[in-house]
Amino acid sequence: MANIRTRRETGCLFLDFRYRGVRCREQTALQDTPANRRTLESLANRIKRELAKGTFDYALFFPDSPRAAQFAAPQTASPRSEARADSSTSLPASTGPVPTFGEFAETWFDENKPRWRDTHAETIRGTLDQHILPAFRARQLGEITRADLLAFRGELGKLAKKNGDTLSPSRINHIMTPLRMLLAEASERYEFVTPFRNIKPLRLPKLDIQPFSLEEVHRILDTVRKDWQPYLAVRFFTGMRTGEVNGLEWKHIDFDQDLILVRQTIVKGKLENTKTDGSMRDIPMVPAIRAALLEQRKLVPEDCPWVFAQRNGEPISLVNFTNRIWHPLLRHVGLTRRRPYQTRHTAATLMLGSGENPEWVARMLGHANTEMLFRVYSRYVPNLTRNDGRAFTGLVSAGAAIRPGTPAPEGTLPASLTMLSRPQLEALVRSLSGQSKEDHSHGD
């Protein structure tokens, strides 16, 4: 690829590219203006196409250049291999030798490992060793093309898991993410255009959540073994993530202030900091949660640090809970089989359905903003709250009744006013009264 650069001394444009492993700079007399850049971009694109096809003729493009004679000698390499070498884009000689993908992958991993959680580093390491390095280890960084990446992604789509299913789009995107990050860093260091440009993640199917209704929640809590009731009550009514509730310690339970302090999580059996900064939060105890935690305090030994523990004193194992308690419980009460994580979705829909402020709900769930709430849960909220336009109709009708000189439609005022809370009604009266004074002052 030919890059367009500017000479500081003259302000003139020049082309900077590599041909047959040599960095070439061809000067022009064009000043750096938008029109001249467009002209040179057209030439640069022609050079790029010829390089890609292996048919670039230096003398044809730059007949007066000293480089033309240098490259006039016949080459033994085939046009295909030459095209491969030239497609490595502009790797300036000043940057030193360009490592192979495998060499740079190790450097990149070691440099980034300190900023990752241990479990995330293990995941990245596994993705590199299992999928990425076998495909690109021996390749030169600059040789990897967009077509190579798309072909690699296509092969991932053909891989089968142990159960025979192919990898999901989400899993494929998670494999491609470290590859994208690695090539982006390499392109910055060795000054070539990352081949990941314009490659978008695979489209994911819309998240299909299956929250429980409040009646189903009570049915589950009334049926489950007594020693599991507090655990499920906390999950259903706080929306804590699985790792957060399993990693909860008594030192993070504040009965004086009625707060659950979410400060850590368990991932793959290891205790770590919360998923994000926003995940570190204080969850207020509603009476049902406080009662559940007080009951749980009686069920565990005094010297056990974990709020919810197994008989051996270790934190609850998600696999054991799911297979031995959760799925049999749902089957017993006649409910559809679903993951324990649906308790979090249940809490979210119940909070929103009760009319809580979405920003407060987002904070309780550990989200940075309300975007996910409206994207994931919006279709469930109308089934739990009045969302059919009657509230707005009541507001307008109440305003018409209170505004001086405007008769309220017959039969609408009492019904509409009962739909407004007292603070809302008082605020509405103050607002309309102020507007009425302003209208009179203008003689309307």
pLDDT digits (tens, 9 = 90+) for 284-295: 999 999 999 999
Give the phi and the psi of residue 406 in degrees, each rounded to 5.
-115, 110
> String of b and e for 52-61 (b: at least 16 CB within 10 Å)?
eebebebeeb
> Per the confidence metrics, is the pTM higher than 0.75?
no
pLDDT at 202: 93
**Would 284 be classed as within a structural domain?**
yes
- Does residue 367 form part of some domain? yes
Q: Are residues 59 and 143 in the same domain?
A: no
Whether 204 is in a domain gets the answer no
Taking residue 347's Cβ as centre, other Cβ atoms within 10 Å add up to: 23
* Axis crossing angle, helix 229-238 with helix 287-299, rounded to the nearest 10: 150
Q: Which of 55, 90, 125 is the last residue of a domain?
A: 90
Which tokens in the block code for residue 123?
């995941």
Where the chain has pLDDT below 70, the residues are 1, 73-97, 380-444
Per-residue pLDDT at 396: 59
Q: Domain count of the chain?
A: 4
Q: Are residues 78 and 120 located together in one domain of the fold? A: no
Structure confidence at residue 408 (pLDDT): 47
Predicted pLDDT of residue 93: 37
**CA–CA gap between residue 261 and residue 283 (Å, rounded):** 6
pLDDT in tens, 33-51: 888 888 888 888 888 888 8
Work out the mean pLDDT of the chain and round it to a whole number.
81
Is 336 a member of any domain? yes
Per-residue model confidence (pLDDT) at position 91: 41
The beta strands (E) that lie in 202-355 are given as 253-254, 259-262, 264-267, 270-273, 281-284
Write down the pLDDT at residue 439: 44
pLDDT of residue 405: 53
Q: Which two tokens stand for residue 103?
A: 């060499």
Tokens of 21: 């492993």
- How far apart, in Å, are the Cα atoms of 81 and each of 51, 52, 140, 195, 436? 11, 10, 14, 18, 82
Are 79 and 107 contained in the same domain? no
List the domain range (segments joined by +) for residue 240: 214-383
